[in-house]
Structure 1
Amino acid sequence: METKYIRRELSAVIEEAYRYFSVITVTGPRQSGKTTLIRNLFPHLPYYSLENLDVRSFAENDPVAFLNQHTEGMILDEVHNAPNLLSYIQGMVDADADRRFILSGSSQFAMLKKVTQSLAGRTAVFELLPMSYSEIREIAADTPLDHLLFNGFYPAIYSGRNVPKFLYPAYMKTYLDKDVRDLLQIKDMMQFHTFIRLCAGRIGSLFKASELANEIGISSHTVTAWLSVLQASYIVALLPPYFENTRKRLTKTPKLYFTDTGLACHLLGIESPEQLARDKMRGALFENFIVTEALKRRYNQGKESNLYFYRDSNQNEVDLLLKKGSEFYGIEIKSAMTYHADFEKALKQMDGWVKGPVEGKAVIYAGTLENTAGEIKLLNYTHLDNVLD
């Protein structure tokens, strides 16, 4: 397959922000397409990767000379490798607001802390996750659902540069060896391996640190620390529960999802779309797909997450709540291909559960029968965009 550039939805927001900010920061997981995106958007700016040891050495030993090589500005990739540059960039853009610096990095934890400290008010920060379904719609139009979930959404898959059976094992090895080892100084990497695989088995479930701690034989505090690293490196995302300060007994525990279904399949030991089709985690992986699509839509508009789920002590639950201003949109997610009236049960009752007007309701499922006329829309997953905007 010929390598081709797929324009990312985030491009339009970055181009707009470029008119108002001297510094643009793009963060996200490894290999989500950050470098390709910024090099395509800003071909007029010189590019430097701080993964390159010679470049990094120059930048660290003489930051002023390094940054002054180009008066118009520059692209600095993997900037978390030379965080001290940020203070110098601050001084330069304060002195000359026309200079432009485009920064990227995959270590949210280290990078965002430094960026917000050094460049507060001077940078727009964007998060780039793997491809959204709408970005690959033309390429993946004929791809069956199980193949879609198994392949995942990393750009390398869709540009023809890699395949799942090679990409995800290599990705995890790089991630574990570089990011996790550096951050946590874990002595027993086998325990961390077990932890991340157990997390994959809990997709779509409430995340209870004490349960995982007991299974692995570590403390709850360690589980919480390890989870924060998975979040900060964009391996997992937590979906917060919706609750108001009322007397209702609503859960305050978040649900766990992975930012990519292909990576999750690898961690679950699923080795083919055919195996996925009959795996007990298929429904959870489909739910994961829909939740992360909703998250990508927000990030690709340059906005923060507005996603929640609802669950109370009576086990009443709505899979996904979108908060649109003061209103809510309720979504039930079903991996079945055949519609059942039960799919709408929770949505019919949700007006009495949430505090605030309900703008709309939808069931997103794998079937082809659709109905947009009623109070509750019935939509195939390929038309999820219709309810996200």
Structure 2
Amino acid sequence: MIERAVKPVIEKCLKVLPAIVILGPGQAGKTTLIKLLAAKNKKETIYLDLEKTSDFDKLNRDAEEYLLSYLNECVLIDEIQRMPSLFPLLRAVIDEKRKPGRFIITGSASFALLKGAPESLAGRVAYFYLHPIGLHELPAAIPMNKHWFRGGFPQALTIRNNQLLQGWLDSFITTYIERDLPFLFDIRFSTSTMRRLWSMLAHLQGSILNAENLGNSLDVTGTTVKRYLDYLEAAFIITRLQPYFINIGKRLIKAPKIYINDSGILHYLLRLHAEKELLNHPAVGASWEGYIVSQVLYAKDSRLDMYYYRTQAGAECDLVLVRGHVVKACVEIKLSKAPVATKGFFHCIEDLKSKNNFIVCSADVDYINKQGIRIVGAAIFINKYLAKL
């Protein structure tokens, strides 16, 4: 079993707070994690999976009576976004007996789950995100290239062969499109259009988003595309990386860049069936860039914000890492094992006045070049330098 980095932090919170909420995409390992947490919580455990009709009905009949009958136990509520009406009730039940570690809750959609929840449970709960397995959590027995190709969903990462992997990813995507997204957000859409959107996003990995052009290709409006992207981002499937603005007299690119978070999903949508196919594919550079962006997203401190920077004159930086209003680092992402900094990257460093500057590459290296840029391998950057920013 792969140890999750967030687990020790959650364990500390359970000793202080009445409830914790773990958010993340389906199949990322939330259920496994909460059962492990409950086992160490030293309380009798009641587990409710709201995707099961029988468990849903237990709360649907009279949730207050049911929950008040377990004042001394640890209640695990899996996929709570299926019953968001529980949040106001949980506040009352927690206040009835405010003891640490009473509730461990999961949800698969930030938008649906958080709607009204912060107000209901303010001061009573801590929120955590469980992303797919990140490079910072990867066991030594699993090579980085395998992780890059297969992505971080535990079953995809550990499944026996690539043929079974393709079947699992097909089922995952179909389930999300045909069942999970409509249920999570109480929406109706053309499943064929949504599937085409996923495919198009794969071919636009790392590109500047133009919703109108994307809508024209799908025969829908740009507004509809943006709404669909809202759903996908709220379900942790994609990230829209926003541009970084500074008060300078330059013409800047102001649209977000778009990434599919999980590289395994990306490669499936690109119809790649083996690692060697990836290395010879035209999208390999965009795939590597997206992989590093997602690994930084998974591993970074929550107070460290991520942006990109690009001017219309051609200066470009793949990642700008900012804490508060201070630029902590500029990061260029290159697949090359012997990368060279571009003139545009130096312009970004000059514009942003960044003191920590990196080129993250695929080689296992760590050195500073003649221009003062640190050339570093992906795993070394994630595990050694990211936490210091």
TM beyond 0.5: yes
Partner of residue 30 from structure 1, selected from 14, 21, 26:
26
Confirm or deny that 1:68 pairs with 2:65.
no
Distance 2:160 2:32 in 1: 13
Contact 1:241 1:309 in 2 (8 A): yes
Normalising by structure 2, we get a TM-score of 0.90
Distance 1:69 1:138 in 2: 45
2:150 maps to 151
2:7 maps to 11
How many angstroms does 1:30 deviate by?
A: 0.5
Confirm or deny that 1:384 pairs with 2:381.
yes
Contact 1:344 1:376 in 2 (8 A): no
Q: What is the 5 A alignment of 1:130-169? A: 130-140=132-142, 143=143, 145=145, 147-160=146-159, 163-169=164-170
Contact 1:347 1:361 in 2 (8 A): no
Deviations 1:218-269 (A, max 9, x none): 1011001000001011110111110024432222211111110001111122
CA RMSD, 1 decimal: 2.0
1:316 maps to 315
Going from structure 1 to structure 2, the CA distance change for 1:187 and 1:115 (only over 3 Å counts) comes to: closer
Contact 1:60 1:85 in 2 (8 A): no
Query: Identity over aligned residues, as a percent?
Result: 27
Q: Secondary structure at the match of 1:358?
A: coil
2:207 maps to 205
How many angstroms does 1:95 deviate by?
A: 2.6
How many angstroms does 1:153 deviate by?
A: 0.9
Distance 2:160 2:154 in 1: 8
Gaps of 5+ in 1: none
2:359 maps to 363
Q: Secondary structure at the match of 1:270?
A: coil
Contact 2:349 2:357 in 1 (8 A): no
Contact 1:60 1:84 in 2 (8 A): no
The count of aligned residue pairs is 375
Q: What is the 5 A alignment of 1:1-389? A: 5-43=1-39, 44=43, 45-72=45-72, 73-98=74-99, 100-140=102-142, 143=143, 145=145, 147-160=146-159, 163-182=164-183, 183=185, 185-298=187-300, 301=301, 303=302, 306-325=305-324, 326-337=326-337, 339-341=338-340, 343-354=341-352, 357-372=353-368, 375-385=372-382, 386-389=384-387
Going from structure 1 to structure 2, the CA distance change for 1:340 and 1:56 (only over 3 Å counts) comes to: closer
Going from structure 1 to structure 2, the CA distance change for 1:159 and 1:65 (only over 3 Å counts) comes to: farther
Normalising by structure 1, we get a TM-score of 0.90
How many angstroms does 1:25 deviate by?
A: 0.6
How many angstroms does 1:82 deviate by?
A: 1.8
Going from structure 1 to structure 2, the CA distance change for 1:206 and 1:274 (only over 3 Å counts) comes to: same
- Code of the residue aligned with 1:197 in structure 2: it is S
